[in-house]
Amino acid sequence: MPRAVYLLALGIFAMVTSEFVVAGLMPQMAEGLDATIPEIGYLITAFAAAMAFGGPFLTVALLRMRQKAALLVLFGVFLVGNVLAALAPDYRTMLVARVITGVASQAFFGVSISLCARLTRPEVRGRAIAVALNGLMLGTLLGLPLSTVIGEHLGWRAAFWAITGLTVVAALATLIGVPRIERADDDGGLRRELGAFRSPRLWLSLTTGTFVIGATFSAFSYLNPILTEVTGFSAGTVPLLLIAYGAATVIGNTVVGRLADKHTLPVLLIGLLLNLAFLAGFALFAGLRFPAVALMTGIGLVGVTMNPALVTRVQRTGNARPLVNTVHSSFITLGIIVATSVGGPAIDAFGLRAPLWIGAVLAGLGLVTLLPDLRRARAGRTSPATDAVEARGPAAKENARL
């Protein structure tokens, strides 16, 4: 595996740690910014909304740049937003900071995954994507609990300053260790990038990502208050439980990365079925410590870990270029928007178990988006990826090999 893939993972780790830090410091940030827990939850929504709706536009603005140069620009934008978050005197300023970091983070994901595809052979592309996305999993395993511990002992602002330092390290590593790759001759600019979106099956694949991640974040966004107020754990125990959750995501991501290239659809089907079961079980047994921890860990195993399979499916039905990858990330973060925007009012109305039930419903909707491809597979036709590529001719076949 090229060293640069691991450096891309480091950059993703920095971005994801900043994204997740709010989930681990909700009570402290609520007190420091004179806000309620649901209002702090909306900071997660704002980050996700900026990713979903702003990231693609920033990616388009950077299409003419070499991908390494684009990554360095995105590091700069992200750094500005993160420093603003660390200095934020009030809730409104923090909201602006989350929007800036969200836009940069989304574009960074899209360019990174595209560059990952350029750096590796087609037969190991799913595995390489899993390695890069381990930055996301490690953000859960290490970044979230460490930033939570820092925030609890040194204040929530210190957590954002720590992420700022990590961002500088990741940017320097990218500058030194990621090779400069020329733009491909067939990049074709914005018109060619937009052409991939003519495929209805690409849109269906994108929608699956919305429901998969939305289901998971319905639980993840509120793990801290659920574990403390419903399950009864102390605030000091939560970081350890989040480490267990993060370890499960690393294991799940590694397994899915190994299977994503050859068994894309079965992996997504089994993952969604298990996630639905774990979410419903967590909602039922959140008041019991051992079942709650076991079910929470299960969500870690089959939630965001579906990303390598989701990316592989999207790249085969569309292409591996930056805009498709960024729009896919937008659909994924749209799931976070749905989860957190609905979760807050649901907590106010029905209590802290409500987001878990919402997650189970979203997982069920994700299964519905797989039905057309499952019918094709059951009928003995060509695989979904091959069928879609062949239906669109030679140009699409070339895209699928990228």
List the structure tokens of 207. Answer: 């929608």
- In angstroms, the CA 170 to CA 174 distance is 6
Of the listed ranges 146-150, 171-175, 190-194, the one predicted with least confidence: 190-194
Who has greater pLDDT, 117 or 26? 26
pTM: 0.74
CA terminus-to-terminus distance, the chain: 17
DSSP code per residue over 371-395 = HHHHHHHHTT---HHHHHHHHH-HH
User: Looking at the domain assignment, is residue 115 inside a domain?
Assistant: yes
Query: Cβ(367)–Cβ(277) under 8 Å?
Result: no
* Pairwise CA distance, residues 242 & 248, whole Å: 10
Token pair listed for 382: 């060509």
- What pLDDT is stored for residue 290 in this prediction? 94
Q: What is the mean pLDDT of the chain?
A: 83
Query: Each residue of 53-98: pLDDT tens digit?
Result: 888 888 888 877 888 888 999 999 999 999 999 999 999 999 999 9
pLDDT per position as a tens digit, 233-270: 888 888 788 888 888 988 998 898 888 878 889 999 99
> Residue 32 and residue 174: Cα distance in Å, rounded?
34
Q: What helix, strand, coil percent values describe the chain, rounded to 5?
A: 85, 0, 15
Q: Distance (Å, rounded) from C-alpha 337 to C-alpha 317? A: 25
CA triple 141-211-213, angle to 5 deg: 10
Q: Is residue 212 part of a domain?
A: yes
368 part of a folded domain: yes
Question: Based on the number of CB atoms within 10 Å of its own CB, is 331 exposed (0-12), middle (13-18) or buried (19 or more)?
Answer: buried
pLDDT at position 136 over 80: no
Q: In this prediction, what percent of the chain has a pLDDT beyond 70?
A: 91
Residue 38 lies in a domain: yes
| Number of domains the chain is built from | 1
Residue 19 CA to residue 395 CA, distance in Å, equals 37
In a domain, 186, yes or no: no
* Amino acid at site 194: L
Closest CA to 374 of 260, 256, 267: 267
Asked whether the beta carbons of 355 and 218 are under 8 A apart, the reply is yes
Domain that holds residue 298: 3-181+191-401
Contacts of residue 223, defined as CB under 8 A and 6 or more positions apart, other chains included, come to 23, 238, 241, 242, 245, 296
CATH number at residue 377: 1.20.1250.20
